Amino acid sequence: MKGFEVPYFDRRRGALAFETIYARGFLRWLYNTHAGGALGTVLTASPWPSRAYGWLQRRRWSRRRIAGFIARMGIDPTEARRDIGEFESFAEFFTREIDLGRRPVCPARDVAVAPADGRVLAFPTVEPETTFRIKRGLFNLRELLRDDALAEDFGGGAMVISRLSLSDYHHFHFPDSGIPGKAAPIPGRYHAGGPYALRTLVPFMTQNHRVRTLFDSDSFGRMAIVEIGALTVGSIRQCFRPGARVAKGDEKGLFELGGSTVVLLFQRGAIRLDQDLVSMTRMEIETLVRMGEPIGRAPS
């Protein structure tokens, strides 16, 4: 399996680091050749390839992949709440729970925290009609939300994108305390979420299957939380109860079997994003931010 390096800023170390993106020959062929593109049009249109992959990775024999995956991805197995030998399948390990004592949630009331372990891009303002490039993809707020009224509601507000790599803890959490509404699925395609397409821009954030939740947060007003699936992600599972109050850092849900993305949307003027995140985003460099760490503050 070949890999290529993508730079990101490691916030804890205060230094530039590199993530190795592993792309099997099939994925490179799928996204970078004419024949692959033709097959991809069919393959990414249906959830069945991802569901079939998920079924295979839930078989007991798949647990043989765990040790090699840990070594290749540089995963710290001591973070898991169970010993590695206790997992019955690769899928069970991939959706592992971790010791959340390793992810302390910033307690300050006026601070929003990262919803997941991921590489973050932070945009102070996003307009409803503007289509722009984010890394190797295309983005449009109206197409992301698939709702014109919501696009206007969050137009001109801030957006935080957290991209989870295969090695990350794949549960996601609430960025503030408050009351969540019902999770609304938005049907879509199943493009791979990683930077595999070297010649084209793939609008996976606005085309892929995703789940949208409106959230009345205590410190930041009305928010939208959008989880975006990808190729091999057979399910985006929600673990909260709509209408029931949650605390900052409470678990919202999890992704199954693949790198995925969480998007936070804020209304205009509701948050001042941390300047280091904004500065790195302007240079098109993601910042590694772990669940529970600050991403911005409510204005005074």
pLDDT attached to residue 1: 46
- Rounded to an integer, the average pLDDT of 16-32 is 66
Domain that holds residue 127: 1-300
pLDDT attached to residue 19: 79
Tokens of 144: 């992301």
Residue 170 annotated as catalytic: no
Closest CA to 225 of 207, 211, 208: 211
Find the catalytic residue in 170, 171, 173, 191.
173
50 touches 42 (CB < 8 A): no
Closest CA to 220 of 173, 172, 293, 273: 273
Residue 2 has pLDDT above 60, yes or no: no
Residue 260 annotated as catalytic: yes
pLDDT attached to residue 27: 60
Closest CA to 18 of 28, 2, 6: 6
Q: Which residue has the higher pLDDT, 267 or 45?
A: 267
**Measured distance CA(266)–CA(273) in Å, rounded:** 10
Q: What is the CATH number of the domain that holds 54?
A: 2.70.70.10
- Rounded to an integer, the average pLDDT of 260-286 is 96
pLDDT tens digit sequence for 207-234:
888 999 999 999 999 999 999 987 766 6
Residue 147 annotated as catalytic: no
Residue 195 has pLDDT above 60, yes or no: no
Tokens of 87: 């997992």
pTM of the complete model beyond 0.85: yes
**β-bridge partners, 97:** none
- Rounded to an integer, the average pLDDT of 105-134 is 93
pLDDT attached to residue 18: 84
Residue 44 has pLDDT above 70, yes or no: no
Find the catalytic residue in 50, 89, 165, 260.
260
Find the catalytic residue in 62, 117, 168, 274.
117
Q: Mean pLDDT for the chain?
A: 87
- In this prediction, residue 101 has a pLDDT band, given cuts at 50, 70 and 90, of very high
293 touches 114 (CB < 8 A): yes
- Phi, psi at 226, each rounded to 5°: -125, 120
Number of domains in the chain: 1
Number of Cβ within a 10 Å radius of residue 136:
17
pLDDT attached to residue 247: 98
Using a pLDDT cut of 90, give the percent of the chain over it.
63
189 touches 228 (CB < 8 A): no
